[in-house]
Amino acid sequence: MLEYIEKFINKIVSFGKFKKSEISKKAYEQLLTSFESLSKNGVVLIPAIINKVKKLKGLLIMDTTDNPKYGLKKIAIKMKNLSNGGYSKGFKIVLFLYKVGYKTYPLGFGLIYKGSRKQEELVLNFLTRLRSDFKLKPEMVIADAGFSTLEIAKRLNNYGWGFVMKFKKSYKLGNKQIKHQLQRGYGDKIDVLSNGIKVKAVRRPNRVFITNRVSLNWQEVLEYYGERWTIEETFRARPVKNQKISYTIS
More confident residue, 199 or 206: 199
Predicted confidence band of residue 243 (pLDDT cuts 50, 70, 90): very low
Report pLDDT digits (tens) over 209-241. Answer: 999 999 999 999 999 999 887 554 444 434 333
The whole-angstrom separation of Cα 189 and Cα 208 is: 11
| Residue 32 neighbours by CB under 8 Å, 6+ apart | 2, 5, 6, 9, 247, 249
Q: Is the pLDDT confidence value at 84 over 90?
A: no
Please give the pLDDT value at position 245: 27
Q: For strand 59-66 and strand 43-45, is the pairing parallel, antiparallel, or unpaired? A: unpaired
The whole-angstrom separation of Cα 92 and Cα 223 is: 27
Q: What are phi and psi of 147, to 5 degrees?
A: -105, -5
Please give the pLDDT value at position 90: 64
The whole-angstrom separation of Cα 48 and Cα 55 is: 13
More confident residue, 132 or 101: 132
Poorest-confidence range of 99-108, 119-128, 184-193, 208-217? 99-108
* Cα-Cα end-to-end distance for the chain: 15
Please give the pLDDT value at position 14: 65
DSSP 184: S
Q: Provide the mean pLDDT of the chain.
A: 79
Poorest-confidence range of 102-111, 172-181, 210-219? 102-111
By CB neighbour count within 10 A (0-12 exposed, 13-18 middle, 19+ buried), where does 69 fall?
middle
Percent above pLDDT 90 for the chain: 44
Please give the pLDDT value at position 238: 40
Q: For strand 198-204 and strand 207-211, is the pairing parallel, antiparallel, or unpaired? A: antiparallel
pTM of the shown model: 0.80
Please give the pLDDT value at position 74: 57
Q: For strand 163-166 and strand 92-100, is the pairing parallel, antiparallel, or unpaired? A: unpaired
* Highest mean pLDDT out of 80-84, 92-96, 137-141, 202-206: 137-141
Report pLDDT digits (tens) over 126-168. Answer: 999 999 999 999 999 999 998 999 999 999 999 999 999 999 9
Please give the pLDDT value at position 93: 79
Q: Is the pLDDT confidence value at 244 over 50?
A: no
